[in-house]
């Protein structure tokens, strides 16, 4: 299946905190982590912030159950695969930034103790594509009870997706589905995209596997910090949760509060009661679905809880008698801040083609241009760092957009680049290409930071560097004789080696009438000797291409000759030592190619051959 690479942002995590009730001692905030009670930590994977996005963007979350209740007892007893979910309604200019696929299931007990037993592979089909095996980037496991465990796996699948809108399906998930009260199987897909139609937002993706039940872990609070809520305040919260039940709850709820404004809002809609939001529903599809046994994928507005200027959003999950698992939590809020996307990027161009061959080669100059566009709603002060490619012999800074250049031998670094809302500017620097191998790929990435803790990579397409070592106008990897100029690329025998580089293989000459020969044998010693036997090192004359093969006197009267034959049954072996008449290496015409005929034996083979002779002579 063809794939399109989507560039991902590398981001520093936001600060998050988790408070546990009713144990007040465990309620302290911890930047970049979640605090869990000891009992929960043993059984669960803490929900943590895994990725953060900033810019004119939004998110999509969808999913489906992968199990069926065939006997109508509200318990799953059969797989329902492949499971499908459809994504529609995105802006026409939506550009995918990130996609994460999750799959979860109840599994046999004790599987959490052996990670290899978890189902880390599923078949994933994207819109218009064929089923492809996806292997998990990571898995979490929660010890459920004596009769089951719970697993959740995820994989980043951004590069698999070409057409964002359309039907997605997942198949091949192994699960324990045997009418257990908490048996389940499902998948969810979370995607972040940028668009000119989107407002400046901060989106945080949290995941893990946290058990919620009144008897042991009734309350969890997640906090999104370090933001400034825009005016008018707007935001959304979405979740992927496992094994909610329709009945049996009076005090299950999710509450959101903005700080320091202090407004609160309990999440509810037409299919999710305020006191039972985990009730087998998926409200992110059209139409919304009920009866999605074993899974909840829901998205709600949290705007009533937000005030302009709030810098923190608290989300509290509360459990009653119904046990469920929080797997994924996504928060997106409109913020008052600058944004680099869409509009920012990086490109290269060949600005000085010294040899006029139309490609970047040694001695040519390539210019990198870093475009900084402020698509946000607040002025931007940007810090850019860019490590100079290793393929550059030298480099020079260019346009600085009014910023300050930091003195560095191998990094283009500019601070305090001021960009107004809606404006853009270009930073530039040039590199002179060093001597490199043909078709070397020169990569380069700039990192832009808005001072909000998020590093945004600006990635240029790779530049393919070429080399024409013999100057005949044909690049090395396309040249049938790369070290000898042969502009016509003549190859009479059509063996892929140019005539200029081949010579006359029948006579062993170099094409000029002179005989070419080499000697590799001078000073060769045969193996299997001892000091008491005495050794005489061989000598040879390299000009004539002949030499003696290292005489080894294994006894006082026995000497090794250049050739020997040993017979065993009907087979015979012969070996020649001390003679190398091939044209291996550089000939008199300067061509680094081997002429026709059998290849020369490797030196170690010659030694082995001589060793065999010596051993045979001792029998």
Is 186 in contact with 293 (CB distance < 8 Å)? no
Q: What percent of the chain has pLDDT over 90?
A: 64
The full DSSP string for 322-334 is: S-EEEEEEEEEEE
> Hey, what are 223's tokens?
């906090």
User: How confident is the model at residue 43, as a pLDDT?
Assistant: 60
**Residue with the larger pLDDT of the pair 600 and 469:** 469
Kindly report, residue by residue over 532-585, the tens digit of the pLDDT: 333 334 344 334 343 434 434 333 333 333 333 333 344 334 333 333 434 444
Q: Are 483 and 590 in contact (CB under 8 A)?
A: yes
User: Sorting pLDDT into bands at 50, 70 and 90, what band is 250?
Assistant: confident
Q: Per-residue pLDDT averaged across 23-51, rounded? A: 49
Residue 440 pLDDT grade (very low, low, confident, very high; cuts 50, 70, 90): very high
* Confidence band of 248 (pLDDT split at 50, 70, 90): low
Quick one: pLDDT band at residue 308, thresholds 50, 70, 90?
very high
In the predicted structure, residue 619 carries a pLDDT above the cut 80: no
pTM over 0.85? The answer is no
- pLDDT at position 243 is 87
Helical ranges in 34-124 per DSSP H: 38-43
User: What pLDDT, in 10s, does the model give residues 108-125?
Assistant: 998 888 888 999 999 999
Residue 470 has pLDDT above 50, yes or no: yes
Tokens 């026709």: give the residue: 596
Residues 6+ apart with CB under 8 A from 595: 502, 503, 504, 505, 508, 582, 583, 587
Of 20-29, 274-283, 284-293, least confident by mean pLDDT is 20-29
Selected residue with higher pLDDT from 79 and 544 = 79
Q: Are 523 and 547 in contact (CB under 8 A)?
A: no
Instruction: Report the C-alpha gap between 432 and 394 in whole angstroms.
Output: 5
Task: Reduce the DSSP state of residue 478 to 3 states and report it.
Answer: helix
Over residues 156-182, the mean pLDDT reads 96
Is the model's pLDDT at 493 over the cut of 50? yes
* N-term to C-term CA, the chain: 64
CATH code that applies to domain 345-465: 2.60.40.740
Among the residues of 385-527, which ranges form H helices? 499-502
Measuring CA to CA, how many Å separate 334 from each of 232, 301, 382, 436? 9, 12, 20, 48
CATH 2.60.40.740 in the chain, residues? 345-465
Q: Two tokens at 144?
A: 């459920």
- Tokens coding 438: 């043909």
Buried (b) or exposed (e) across 171-181, using 16+ Cβ within 10 A? bbbbbbbeebe
Structure tokens at 486: 């042969």
pLDDT at 225: 86
Percent of the chain with pLDDT over 70: 74
> Nearest Cα to 119, choosing from 98, 109, 104, 99?
104
Longest dimension (CA), the chain: 107
Q: Which residues contact 406 (CB under 8 A, 6 or more apart)?
A: 413, 414, 415
Task: Tell whether omega for the bond before 342 is within 30 degrees of 0, i.e. cis.
Answer: yes
Query: What is the average per-residue pLDDT within 91-112?
Result: 95
Give the whole-angstrom CA distance, residue 278 versus residue 284.
14
**444 close to 370: Cβ distance less than 8 angstroms:** no
**Residue 375 vs residue 554, higher pLDDT:** 375
Q: For residue 407, which phi and psi values (nearest 5 degrees)?
A: -70, 115
Residues 192-229 have pLDDT tens digits of 999 999 999 999 999 999 999 998 899 999 888 888 89
* Cα torsion angle, 292, 295, 297, 302, sign: positive
Question: Across residues 81-85, what is the average pLDDT?
Answer: 97
Instruction: Map tokens 């709600």 to a residue.
Output: 300
């Amino acid at each position: 299946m063809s794939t399109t690479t989507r560039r991902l942002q590398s981001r520093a995590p936001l600060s998050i905190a988790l408070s546990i009730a009713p144990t007040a001692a465990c309620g302290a905030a911890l930047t970049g982590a979640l605090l869990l009670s000891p009992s929960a930590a043993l059984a669960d994977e803490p929900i943590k912030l895994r990725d953060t996005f900033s810019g004119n963007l939004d998110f999509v979350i969808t999913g489906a159950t992968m199990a069926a209740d065939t006997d109508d007892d509200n318990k799953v007893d059969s797989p329902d695969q492949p499971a499908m979910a459809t994504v529609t309604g995105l802006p026409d200019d939506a550009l995918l930034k990130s996609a994460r696929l999750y799959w979860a299931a109840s599994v046999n007990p004790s599987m959490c103790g052996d990670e290899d037993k978890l189902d880390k592979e599923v078949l994933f089909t994207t819109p218009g594509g064929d089923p492809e095996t996806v292997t998990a980037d990571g898995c979490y496991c929660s010890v459920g009870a004596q009769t089951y465990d719970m697993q959740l796996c995820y994989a980043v699948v951004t590069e698999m997706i070409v057409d964002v809108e359309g039907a997605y399906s997942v198949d091949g998930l192994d699960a324990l589905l045997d009418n257990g009260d908490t048996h389940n199987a499902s998948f969810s897909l979370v995607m972040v995209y940028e668009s000119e139609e989107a407002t400046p937002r901060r989106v945080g993706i949290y995941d893990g596997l946290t058990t919620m039940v009144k008897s042991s872990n009734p309350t969890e609070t997640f906090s999104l910090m370090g933001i400034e809520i825009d005016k008018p305040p707007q935001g959304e919260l979405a979740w992927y949760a496992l094994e909610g039940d329709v009945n049996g709850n009076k005090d299950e709820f999710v509450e959101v509060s903005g700080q320091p404004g202090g407004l609160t809002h309990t999440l509810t809609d037409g299919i999710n009661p305020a006191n039972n939001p985990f009730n087998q529903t998926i409200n992110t599809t059209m139409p919304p679905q009920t009866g999605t046994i074993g899974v909840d994928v829901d998205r709600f507005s949290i705007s009533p809880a937000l005030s302009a200027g709030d810098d923190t959003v608290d989300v509290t999950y509360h459990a009653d008698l119904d046990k469920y698992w929080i797997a994924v939590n996504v928060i997106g809020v409109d913020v008052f801040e600058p944004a680099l996307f869409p509009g920012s990027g990086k490109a290269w161009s060949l600005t000085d083609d010294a040899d006029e061959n139309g490609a970047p080669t040694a001695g040519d100059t390539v210019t990198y241009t870093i475009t900084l566009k402020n698509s946000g709603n607040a002025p931007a002060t940007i810090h850019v760092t860019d490590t100079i490619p290793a393929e550059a012999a030298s480099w020079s800074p260019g346009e600085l957009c009014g910023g300050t250049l930091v003195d560095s031998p191998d990094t283009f670094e500019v601070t305090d680049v001021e960009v107004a809302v809606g404006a853009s500017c270009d930073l530039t620097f040039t590199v002179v290409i060093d001597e490199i191998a043909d078709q070397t790929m020169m990569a380069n990435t700039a990192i832009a930071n808005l001072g909000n803790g998020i590093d945004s990579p600006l990635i240029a397409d790779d530049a393919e560097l070429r080399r024409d070592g013999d100057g005949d106008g044909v690049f090395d990897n396309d040249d049938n004789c790369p070290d000898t100029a042969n502009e016509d690329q003549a190859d009479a025998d059509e063996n892929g080696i140019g005539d200029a580089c081949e010579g006359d293989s029948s006579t062993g000459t170099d094409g000029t009438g002179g005989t070419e020969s080499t000697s590799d044998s001078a000073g060769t010693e045969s193996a299997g000797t001892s000091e008491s036997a005495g050794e005489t090192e061989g000598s040879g004359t390299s000009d004539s291409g002949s030499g003696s093969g290292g005489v080894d006197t294994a006894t006082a009267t026995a000497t090794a000759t250049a050739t020997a034959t040993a017979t065993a049954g009907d087979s015979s072996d012969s070996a020649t030592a001390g003679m190398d008449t091939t044209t291996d290496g550089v000939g008199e015409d300067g061509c680094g190619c081997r002429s026709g005929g059998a290849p020369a034996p490797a030196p170690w083979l010659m030694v082995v051959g001589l060793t065999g002779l010596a051993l045979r002579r001792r029998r």
